[in-house]
Structure 1
């Protein structure tokens, strides 16, 4: 291919004039056209002179003639050889005629087109190569340029109109449901609080027997909740692999019954009927009274042998763990309940007032905590604060003195149990314990003078009872030590990642959640009363118990004969025939 033909073809291609024919080489190589950014303002088309139009037509004919020839093999793909004719007009005035030098066309180095950006560019319009010639007088007007239509850019997608803000906020269903649930829980908790307080007062008025039954019911529920936690210590994989011990529940409740029989037997069986000495006069109950301990030990031995016989190879770890768990529960729950029951038998006031002090301290700790609480008290109970703890201490001290002073005036509250059939409406009389007897405390003379001057009347003594001093000790223990029973229970629940021990009381959780502090308080009152308050004196029941359990039948007959002779010497006839 000649240089002029190649230059003409390239010029034709740059003018983007479709010749209607394609060569074989052009079908194999696809030339990528450069793209450029489309401007919103169209550029004005340049004007062609007459000479330039002739040369463009000549170049088009040459390109058409050369279109049948193959493309040179040395032309690299994806490159465009742009040949720009370099026309340098030079005018030499010779005899008034304008002469032009011959046109020279120089080949421009090939330029590699950059890859177009797909989103920001569109295919540009091919522009013809225009060569402007100097004007001449005899040059005809230029022909209009050939324009190739360019595809219009796609219309931009209009942005969606912003949604109008609602005039009223939409209610959030989750928050509404949560607030409704909290309100329902609060109503349920309040309702059952009044039910428990009312039931507690009603059983208090009905008598000692009903209070003992209440304590036994509470300890049964607590024992069930505590032993049920053992199932949380066994992994699901172990349960799926080996299952559960079929005898675990049976042995749990067997040991519970035997322990209650042993602990309560010596205290309750003597109060089974109206009078304490009637039990020992009944021949059917006499063997249980005289052989109570050996019977209890025999029953426990049967349970121990049954436990060993039930051991299985796949359940050994689970069975021994449950055996230890049950005995610890019996020690903490059942033994503490036994002490509380003994406090009731010594006088209702030794159970009612301490239990009220624990409840009062819990309530005032909550009130002072939400009002002034800022400093956390212990990590086990994040809601407990130092301010609530101190405020509850002083509130409980004042409440304890006033509350105990009111109930110490009733014989029904301070008298030890002599008849399990009595109630608050019964006529109960007894010799009160010396701690309930009022006394006068002689004040220091300067203090008496100051008080007399301030009050306008003579004050030299202050009435008091030793029970007031005991109330201060009990109130201090209820506010300083008993709450740690609740902290112990909180740590126990956190160890098993549970919120409550159970759901025995709606709105309050399990019975253990309400009795955690009461167990510790009950043990303290039992030890405190037995060490500092109880009077050790002989009663008919204690003597009869010693006779029945310590003397043989011959010795009992001999004692009866001597007693009748003694009474006859004092002129008292028993009406019992001599033996």
Structure 2
């Protein structure tokens, strides 16, 4: 009786026939020689190992081995983690993007209706996050070079710049509050000098932190920080001033950019053929022009709707106001209907009127819509070029599904800047205000002259029947006592 030999593989035992032993020995030698030379062992499914009892075992169909001994392909597939298909990945990304889009829209409209102070908080948060993202692009080398104060200086310059710009806005729009407060008055009258000294302190600290061998890199970081301050913080300052001038000057530019972006995508995928610019390969000339036409139409509709609300067209005179309490003011003439006579007389058969009644704001919104469509997108092209310089896809991942905050606000900065300059040049009505009169009196008159102004105003109000004679007598006697006491 022939005794069969057994060969052990790990925890399993396989009985082999005599005929299979020579083949097994040859296979072991081949594996030993290949491993000694550093090459991978051949697979066992290529016929190097033959089993005589393969036909005697039903369902036996092993084609490969594993470290645990004779694992099948099916077992390997079960142990591998299942990868998501392209469709599932796109679906998951779309859901994430949609959820965060709805969340951002809700926060935007909720803060806008809750009051101007909440919109200011949102703008402040956006500029801080955007500054952080832009600075982070070049912060990695600073950690590698062990430069301790690079990041600290970045945030210091951000804080000092925000102090200067925020202070300018507060002093300009709330003179009547700041200049009569005993604590705030010194900060208001010397605000620019204080801001300058804060910057000088940062400048001196930067020079003192220079290290030999890193001069070029540190000066590059210094320039990079100032570029970020100009592109983000300075532009955000003018957007904030738009809020103080009236919610419409903040809301309209933002919505025009968003509208243009949406319709540029829709028109581009619908009939776009000609590439617009190499920095953004997906941008097309057809989408560019189509988005401009759609943005102008949407701009007319939005303006006609917003002009009906005093909450949107009135400058901020109460930071506690919201959409329900509203604001009161004398509307800017740009929002009032005006009748224009056509420069030509149309033929009778055209049935066209010879006059046109429309608010001047409708003409201004055409200019703003055109800028949002034809110029503001170059802010996005600039951001694309910057990202290509550093070989990055997004500025960050602050917004899941959307990338960084800077990726979403790349066109808003230049648009808000333009809206402020256009408003101040062609729309704003300059007249004396309580704040400007108080500022002139405090900065240009002595104490005795200021009291004379108060007495003169009291007499004027008495002659107009606004106040009684006792007010004039009270002010006159007490102001004289004040002078005598001094």
Both proteins in one fold, TM over 0.5: yes
Cα distance, 1:527 vs structure 2: 1.0
Contact conserved, 1:290 with 1:548, CA < 8 A, in 2?
no
Q: Could you tell me whether the CA contact under 8 Å between 1:270 and 1:277 is conserved in 2?
A: no
User: Partner of 1:451 in structure 2?
Assistant: 351
Alignment of 1:137-152 (within 5 A): none
Structure 1 position 251, deviation (Å): 1.0
* Residue among 361, 364, 387 paired with 1:470: 364
Contact between 2:139 and 2:151, CA under 8 Å: does it hold in 1? no
The answer on whether the counterparts of 2:455 and 2:475 sit within 8 Å (CA) in structure 1 is no
Aligned position for 1:220: 128
Give 1:362's aligned residue: 261
Matches within 5 A, 1:183-198: 183-198=91-106
Equivalence for 1:315: 214
Number of residue pairs aligned between Structure 1 and Structure 2: 397
**In the superposition, relative to structure 1, how do residues 211 and 239 fare at CA in structure 2: closer, same or farther (>3 Å)?**
closer
Gaps of 5+ in 2: 1-49, 51-60, 62-76, 480-486
Q: 1:533 aligns with which of 421, 427, 430?
A: 427
Cα shift readout 1:69-111 (whole Å, capped 9, x = no counterpart):
xxxxxxxxxxxxxxxxxxxxxxxxxxxxxxxxxxxxxxxxxxx
* Compared CA separation, residues 295 and 553, structure 1 to 2 (3 A): farther
How much does 1:448 deviate?
Answer: 6.2
Shift of the 309–178 alpha-carbon distance from structure 1 to 2, 3 Å rule, reads: same
- Say which of 449, 453, 457 aligns to 1:559: 453
Counterpart secondary structure, 2:327:
coil
Distance 1:286 1:295, change over 3 A: same
Structure 1 distance, partners of 2:252, 2:383, is 23
Distance 1:383 1:570, change over 3 A: closer
CA contact (8 A) 1:369 1:388 kept: yes
Corresponding residue of 1:249: 151
1:365 CA drift (Å): 0.5
State the alpha-carbon separation in 2 of the partners of residues 173 and 327 from structure 1: 48
Cα distance change on mapping 1:438 and 1:569 into 2, 3 Å: closer
Q: Distance in 1 between matches of 2:462 and 2:290?
A: 66
Note if contact 1:358-1:517 (Cα within 8 Å) is conserved in structure 2. Answer: yes
Which digits, 9 at most, give the CA deviation of each residue in 1:343-394, with x for residues without a partner?
1111111110111010000000101111112221111111111111111111
Deviation at 1:499, TM superposition (A): 0.4
- Give 1:492's aligned residue: 386
Alpha carbons 2:379, 2:411 under 8 Å: kept: yes
Determine the C-alpha separation between the residues in 2 that align with 1:499 and 1:324. Answer: 23
**1:192 offset after TM fit, Å?**
0.9
Structure 1 residue 344 corresponds to structure 2 residue 252: no
Partner of 1:69: none
TM-score (norm 2): 0.77
Question: In the alignment, what sits opposite 2:442?
Answer: 548
Is the 1:219–1:337 Cα contact (8 Å) retained in structure 2? yes
Tell me the distance in 2 between the aligned counterparts of 1:431 and 1:527. 22
Deviations 1:248-267 (A, max 9, x none): 11111111111111111021
Write the distance in 1 (CA, Å) between the matches of 2:451 and 2:345. Answer: 64
Indicate the residue corresponding to 2:72 in structure 1.
none
Q: Which of these residues, 304, 310, 315, is aligned with residue 203 of structure 2?
A: 304
SS at match of 1:577: helix
Give the superposition deviation at 1:318. Answer: 2.5
Hey, what does 2:114 align to over in structure 1? 206
1:416-452 CA distance string (max 9 Å, x none): 1111111111142211111100123345553565237
**Structure 1 residues 371, 203: closer, same or farther in 2, change over 3 A?**
same
Which protein is bigger by CA-based radius of gyration? 1
* CA distance in 2 between partners of 1:185 and 1:451 (Å): 54
Please give the alpha-carbon distance, in whole angstroms, between the structure 1 residues aligned to 2:97 and 2:348: 50
- How far apart are residue 269 of structure 1 and its match? 4.6
Greater helix fraction, Structure 1 or Structure 2: 2
Task: Give 1:565 deviation, angstroms.
Answer: 4.1
Q: Secondary structure at the match of 1:446?
A: coil
Q: TM-score, normalised by structure 1?
A: 0.65
Aligned position for 2:484: none
Secondary structure, counterpart of 1:361 in structure 2: helix
How far has the Cα of 1:569 moved from its partner? 4.9
Match of 1:422 in 2: 321
Does residue 286 (structure 1) correspond to residue 185 (structure 2)? The answer is yes
CA contact (8 A) 1:258 1:296 kept: yes
Contact 1:271 1:279 (C-alpha < 8 Å) held by counterparts: no
Secondary structure class of the residue paired with 2:110 = helix
Q: What is the CA–CA distance in structure 2 between the aligned matches of 1:401 and 1:383, rounded to whole Å?
A: 28
Matched, 1:577 2:475: yes
8 Å contact 2:372–2:415 — kept in the other structure? yes
* 8 Å contact kept, 1:448–1:460: no
Separation (CA, whole Å) in 2 of partners of 1:198 and 1:349? 18
In 2, the alpha carbon distance for the partners of 1:407 and 1:553 equals: 45
Written as runs of structure 1 = structure 2, the 5 A alignment for 1:88-107 is: none
Q: Secondary structure at the match of 1:282?
A: coil
RMSD: 2.4
CA distance in 1 between partners of 2:417 and 2:337 (Å): 27
Contact 1:269 1:279 in 2 (8 A): yes
Q: Partner residue of 2:309? A: 410
Question: Structure 2: how far apart are the matches of 1:565 and 1:318?
Answer: 67
Q: CA deviation at 1:206?
A: 0.9
